[in-house]
Amino acid sequence: MSQVKTAPPASTARIASPARTARFLRSELWLIFGRRRNWLGLAILGVVPVIIAIAAKSSDSGDGPDFFAQITDNGLFVALVALTMEIGLFLPLAVSAIAADSIAGEANLGTLRYLLAVPVHRTRLVIVKYVAVVLFTFAATLLVTLVGALLGLALFGGGDFLLLSGEQISFGAGLLRVLGVACYLAIGLCSIAAIGLFISSLTEQPIGAGIATMVLVIMSFILDAIPQLGWLHEYLPTHYWLSFGDLLRLHIDWSGDLRAGVLSAAAYILVFTTAAWARFSGRDVTS
């Protein structure tokens, strides 16, 4: 007489599930941070603040934007200049590439259906992949910040931090403001990660998904620069990115553009991660 196999108790499944999810996340992070091409991308991100610091050190003039002129007074401004420059291209490009590779890369290599055969629930797969991209986004943004801050402090020193509003605060408070800027920009970039994840679920070509994501970012910048489209600006994913300047004033207005920027990013994350889940959960995986 054949024996009927009984399913494991629900409590056991609930206990094992977080452990499997943690292993899956570690594996995903290894795929991201263990690849040489991604290390090369992070190295390029880290080179920009180095170039800025060396250029400021070798120049005797105080010409340039406000942030650039303040570098020689406080090395923390190297990090702010680097973030301001890289948020326009390099950081969105890095996030777009990683997000686009999350699902489309697996499909392109033919490993996606084997991954699902483990089995890995599709909802958990989408969540883990997005969380991994988010962690990369914060890591990349903080890398630029830390390289810029450390090299800037080594070359120019620290001291009191001059805010955009004209007041000076202590070095420790200034450091917290710079880290706040980095986190704010990383939250904004997470919206691009969600868009890239969704596009990645539509195709098996990670390069095409990355290009499509970056084209949308560039289009957002272009549309945001057209005054006649002012009614559209607040709905663009990149519109509030440069609002980090509010963090560099004595009294931070949390009810203004900063709050709107976080809510805008949250809306994009919710919409596009849900769309990625809906698309992927009903997708017939053939590769």
142-189: per-residue pLDDT in tens? 999 999 999 999 999 888 898 888 899 999 999 999 999 999 999 999
How many angstroms separate the first and last alpha carbons of the chain?
40
- pLDDT (0 to 100) of residue 4: 46
Distances (CA, A) of 166 to 28, 163, 266: 45, 5, 32
- pLDDT (0 to 100) of residue 25: 87
Distances (CA, A) of 267 to 53, 57, 127, 190, 237: 36, 42, 16, 11, 10
- pLDDT (0 to 100) of residue 122: 73
- pLDDT (0 to 100) of residue 112: 56
Q: What is the mean pLDDT of residues 82-98?
A: 95
Q: What is the mean pLDDT of residues 71-80?
A: 88
Helical residues (DSSP H) of the chain, grouped into ranges: 10-33, 36-58, 66-69, 76-86, 90-109, 112-116, 122-156, 171-200, 206-224, 230-233, 257-281
- pLDDT (0 to 100) of residue 130: 95
Q: What is the mean pLDDT of residues 263-277?
A: 96
**What average pLDDT is seen over the chain?**
85
Q: What is the mean pLDDT of residues 126-141?
A: 95
Tell me the percentage of the chain whose pLDDT exceeds 70.
83
pLDDT digits over 192-202, tens only?
A: 999 999 999 88
Q: What is the mean pLDDT of residues 30-56?
A: 92
Q: What is the mean pLDDT of residues 62-74?
A: 66
Tell me the percentage of the chain whose pLDDT exceeds 90.
59
Query: Domain spans of the chain?
Result: 21-281
pLDDT digits over 16-35, tens only?
A: 467 777 887 888 899 899 88
According to DSSP, the residues that pair with 162 across neighbouring strands are 168
What is the pLDDT confidence band of residue 280, given thresholds at 50, 70 and 90? confident
Q: Which three-class secondary structure state does DSSP give residue 287?
A: coil
Distances (CA, A) of 208 to 8, 29, 31, 100, 234: 43, 22, 20, 8, 27
